[in-house]
């Protein structure tokens, strides 16, 4: 796997993504105003590999809360 990051020529903002060895994008970050912020976000994703896994499938309140607060930006590299 590999992390890639770039500055968009369209909006001048920084983005990152994680790709498998086969080239499939499996994670990505939101847009960032600086390279430093982008790298910090990417580092947080790397660190999350040690995060606890919790099954919330039986907890409707947790699922509703997740969907209300989660918003993903589906941007691709230029």
Phi, psi of 5 (to 5 degrees): -140, 155
Q: For residue 49, is it within any domain? A: yes
On average, the pLDDT of the chain sits at 84
Q: What pLDDT score was predicted for residue 67?
A: 59
pLDDT band at 51 (very low <50, low <70, confident <90, very high): confident
For residues 59 and 40, what is the distance between their CA atoms, to the nearest angstrom? 31
Q: For residue 78, is it within any domain? A: no
For residues 42 and 27, what is the distance between their CA atoms, to the nearest angstrom? 10
Distances (CA, A) of 6 to 14, 27, 53: 6, 15, 30
This prediction's pTM: 0.66
CATH number of the domain at 36, please: 3.30.160.160
Give me the number of domains the chain comprises: 1
């Amino acid at each position: 796997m590999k992390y890639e990051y770039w500055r968009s020529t369209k909006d001048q903002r920084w983005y990152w993504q994680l790709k498998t060895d086969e080239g499939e994008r499996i994670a990505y970050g939101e847009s960032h105003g600086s390279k430093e912020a982008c790298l910090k976000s990417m580092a947080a994703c790397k660190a999350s590999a040690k995060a606890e896994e919790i099954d919330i499938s039986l907890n409707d309140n947790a699922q509703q809360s997740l969907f209300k607060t989660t918003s993903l930006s589906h941007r691709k590299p230029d």
